[in-house]
Each structure stands twice: as C-alpha cells, then as structure tokens.
Structure 1
Amino acid sequence: MDADLEQLRDTARRFYERECVPNEKRWTEQQHADREIWLKAGAAGLLCAGIPEQYGGGGGDFRHEAVICEEQAGAMVNAFSNNVHSGIVAHYLLAYGSEAQKQRWLPRMATGELVAAIALSEPGIGSDLQRMRTHARRDGDHYVVSGSKTFITNGLHANLICLAVKTDPAAGAKGVSLLMLETEGSAGFRRGKLLEKLGQKTQDTAELFFDEVRVPVEHLLGDEEGKGFGQLMQQLPQERLIIAVGAVATMHRALQETTQYVRERQVFGQPLMSMQNTRFKLAECVTQATVARSFVDDCIGRLLRGQLDATTAAMAKWWTTDTNVRIVDECLQLFGGYGYMTEYPIARLYADVRVSKIYGGTNEVMKEIIARAVERGR
C-alpha cells in the first residue's frame, strides 16, 4: 500500500457505501443493479484501474484492481461485477487485442459506456472448456456463431462479450478461439432469463443464446485462430487471484460482523464473547484469515513480478474460497438462530460465498492442477 492506493481505497469505500449499499434491497428484488451504476463507477475512476491511461484506464496495476475488489467484497456489493469487466475482460484486450481493438473498446469500458462479460461456461460442460459446443464458422469477412452459454456474470447489461468458441471443432483445445461480440444490433443474439440463485441475488447472471450471429473477422482476439485456449490459460491465474482477494476481504467482513455481535449479545447473563468456545472459534477464524491475507499478498507480489504460476494461483483460489466458506459458517453459528435471518449480513454472506468454490474453475479442478504439478515434480 502507498498513499495513492489508500486514496483509491477511500474513494471505493465511499462509492459503494453511497451508491450501492442503500440500493441492495431493491436490486435484490429486481435481480440486477440499475444500468446507471456502471456510468457512476466509471466517473468515480473505479473501472479499468489497471489499464494504461492511453486507453482510458487509471494507469495503475493489479494492486489498484485488488483494492477496488476488496472494498466491493467488504461492502457486500455483488450487484455488478467489476472483477469480470475490469479485472478479466479488459486485460484480455490489453494482452491480446490489436491496437484498433484496444482503442475501440477499452476507453468506453473505462467510462462504463460498455459493460463487458466473458462467456465460457455452457450447459452440461462445466469446467471442461475443451468440450464446448458453441462454434464459429468462417463466412467471408465474418464468423457465424451458433450455440449457448450459461451462468454469465453481467449477462443482462453486457454489450461487449468475450466469447469462447470452437473455430475448429475437430482440433480440441487447439480449435478454441476468442471473439469479441458487440451485442447491440447483433441479429440472432438473445439473452435468456435472469437465473434465480442461492446467493448473490443482485448480480445479473444470465443465459446467452447465439443463432447464426455474425461477428466481424477483425473481432478475433489475437493474430490467428486457435489461440483461445492458450489465452485463457495465461489469464486464469489473475482471474483466480481476484477471486482469492475477494474471499479474504469477505472473511474479514464476516469476522467484523461476528465480533460486534458477540460483544453485544447476552447469553446466560453474560456476553457471548466471554465464553471460551466463542473466543476459541474466533481465534481460529482470525488466524486463518490472517494466513490467507499473507498468502494472497505474496501472490499479488508474484503477479506484479510476472512470477505467479498457474499452480500457485490454483492453490490461492481453492484454499481461500474453501477457508472463506468455513469461516462464514463458523461465524453464523455464533449468531444462533439470528444467523439464519436474512436481516443479518452474516446470513447473506453465507449464501453469497458458497459459489466461490465453483466459479473460476471448481476447487476440485484446482486440486487436479496442483496434483499434476506435484506428479511432475514441480
């Protein structure tokens, strides 16, 4: 942390408290945030903070993205995924986009004029991206895309989608390509219903359908077809680290809520905090959260030095999300019956965090990645 990052943290915290938290109930009922929140976030400098200024971004690095992510997670604001928009899609464009593509999309992503999503998951496919069925065939100066995607974050508002397709269905991983789809005016593109979820009820998660959608060839990400799987593998460590950053922030929010509650709650004529079981449980959870923060901070340092490998990122993703779910469960238990009431933030956290063990690659897949590295002696 430095003075610039502390100022950004303060800006982000005030933004989420002022613009998002008061609207959470209404957004939960409508299952999505208002579209205007993206424009407000852009005006506050919270979008594309890690993208160079020449493309309209904040000119920062991953630390800036992490600070914003921490404050959003700590405020329990799930209504719009800046992580997907700024932390993932913007960096695909920065890493693999042509100069024309960067100039076309990144400045408008930074202002919130464009909302970005990444479409990987398909019905029945899960984490096995090599088996995706959405395909794109070349037709002159366009690709013609057919298929469907599901569980797409920012799916309702997205007007720019980083879309994984098979350009050569017979080539396995080498047949995967990434196309940038502008949804406005795209004939054959359709959004399905908003999906009703266990948690993160303010997040617009949707199904997307593509029926002979024409995408200009110049919207291919990278200089040739078949590089999509490699691009995904190169970017996934940062995506998984973003998930870990959010998990750590959520652990600390859960502990903050629980510590305040057990200090005030009287049981058998004494504060709940004075009971040994409460004290020991909190001691365990605080220790785990502290270890998690230290590990994630180390991973951030590795990423900034270009040294974060896929195995370490997988470790960070599975362990922090697993620990987060466990800590939130322990904290909820200390609330007793009140912990099951949605008026208490801990109940919302309990529902919201469970999916973190699934998205970004399930934790079982993360362990398989690690096990393969162990098998190779790395």
Structure 2
Amino acid sequence: MNRLLKEMKPYPMDELVKAREKLKREGKKIYDFGTGDPKEPTAPFIREAVKNAIPEVSQYPTVKGRPDLRKAISEWFESRFKVKLNPETEIIPSAGSKEAIFHFPLVFIEEDSEKKRVIYGTPAYPVYERGTLFAGGIPTPITLKYEDGFLLRLDRIDRSILEETRIVWINYPHNPTGATATKTYLEDIYGICREYDIILCSDECYTEIYFEEPPPSALEAGRKKTVVFHSLSKRSGMTGYRSGFVAGDESLIKEYLRFRSSFGVGSPEFIQIGAREAWKDEKHVEERREIFRKKKAIFEKFFKEEGLEFLEVKATFYFWVKVPEGISSKDYAFHLLKYGIVVSPGDFFGKGGKGFFRIALVPSVRECKEAVKVWKEAHKTLKRRRD
C-alpha cells in the first residue's frame, strides 16, 4: 500500500457519516448539519435536460468537454465577474471541483524542484493537503485567525518560504468558516504570487451562495499563473451530478488538459448538457439563495439567544461557531449527537479549528426549526451538568 495511505488519518467526514448511520439504525431522528450536502431538490429543468440527453449508445466523453458547455460557462463568467474567458483555451469542465483540486498538484508539482511547497490556510477543506501529499509536494498550512477574518495573510510569511512555494490555495467564500474576501485582498495576494512566481489557485465553489454583495473571483485581479475552480454542487444543488470547471491562465489550462485524460475524469455527455442549462439560468440560483437566507435567519436568532459567538455569515451556507465555555469541540459535538444533532467539530478541519464547530444549513427550513427546539434541550442538559 502507498505509504501515504497508511499514514493518513480517516477523512474527517467519514466519522460523521458513521455516527449518523449508527443513529439511523437505532431509529433516532437525525438533524444532520455535518456534511455540506443540502436537501433542496435540483431544479426540474436541469433534471429534464439530463434525462432527455441520455443516449441509446454510451460512448466515452472527451476530457475537453462539449463546446456548448464551455461557451455557456464563458458567458456566465463574463456576466457574473466581468472577465471574458476564451471557451476554447481557458476553460476545462470537471467532475465537480474536488477531483480537479486534488489532481492539480499532480501535474504542477515537480518532486526534484526546490519549489514544491503548497500553501493553504487552516482550518480547511482536507483535499488541499491530500492532493499535495500524493503529488510529492510539501504541505504548508498557515493557521487562519478569527481576528483576521480567517484571511490567508501571505504578507506575513517568511520570504524564504515563499521562494520555495509552487502553489498557493485560497478559498473565499471559505469552507468551513464562511469568511469572505474583498477584491482588494485578492489583488494583494495576486501581486505577492506574481512577485514569487507562484501559481495562485482559487477554490470558488461558494461564490454563488451569498446574502450581501456578490463575492469576487481571483481572475478579477489577473489571470497570469492563476486558475479558479467552480462547481454546480452548491450553486445549483447538483452535488450528485459531479459537475464544475477549471478556468484561467491559458498556459496552465493547456498543460493541465494534456494530463487530465490520464485521470479518467471526463464528464458524461448527458451531465454536461444538464450543466450547460444550469449555467445559463440564474432564477433557480436566486430561489436557492432565498431558502438559505431563511435557514440563516433561524440560526442567527438561535445562536444569539443561546449566547454562542459566531462569524457573521455573508456567504456560503455555513456557520462557524465558538463552543460553549469549558467544553471541547469534539465533546460538544458528541453531546449534541445524543439528541440526534450532527455538527462538525472545528478540529476536523485542521489547526485553527480548535474551540469551534461548523454547521451546514443542510436540513429543510422546517427541520431547522425543529432542530433548534431539540438543541435548546441539549443546552439545558449541558448547563445542568456543568452547574
């Protein structure tokens, strides 16, 4: 077995899945705020487009993807971010964003090079570290701080580290904290990456779940040695369809495309057709935002009533919340689990997550209201136990 596989801890979300399944077998009512997989139905027009596109004869899809899908992505990106992308040379469809993020370092990390560090903020989505390890790179996590709004501050990193860095990952709006970044921040980080000849990778799969100003894209700061990763999973409720794209610097896209056929990640044609229709429509996205807005209001009120401190939610469907005083993130999560409430301990997301927990606004609005009542009972029990 690959040495890395032996040494890796279980994928954090696996623990949540096992705990949830155990509770289900015991017949417990589950309110799952753990994994970020919302229950809202995929829009009917997307499902119909996929169904109607299923062919009688199944054949291999191309890794480059359908021209009409790339055109739809290009038009959406220009409308949304005011950045014009060449659909022929600057866009690659992907099977969601996770696989593309994982595979990217496999192409661009050279094991014999002195520049093989990969910088990313922590707490973080675990795939940045895992893709780096499998590529033979050096994971370099930087602890994000509450007082900095969980922004990755490259300007505070030693020059010697930056000189050894091949890739910097940023992820705004941020998973797990929900933190957002301004265009000025992106311009600053882009400038530092250019100074040190670093590839800037921006995971932007939460840009379309927002409640105030629409979050910017790193490509608004510039596209030289910069690539962005987008997905329909959150925007359009297509987590199970596995559809997204990679876009940016033409030379990087060309090199990445050259090797992606080795990974077997070509998206099925009928999924691409559904994705094409999804990128062409904004109405269903606005409707989804409104549903998340209602859920957000329920928990903002609840957390304030319970005296739980949380980061203001401007985008994503996550709350990043400080645990009650005198209890660890993991113990708090296990306490809630007794009541059927599943949350993610902050420690799951790496250093910087200690003392926090994350909830994903996955259950329906009705279930969120039910969960708050159950959660209040869990807090009463916790308070009695501590008194």
Give the TM bin, normalised by the shorter chain: under 0.3
* TM-score for the superposition, normalised by structure 1: 0.26
Higher helix share: 1
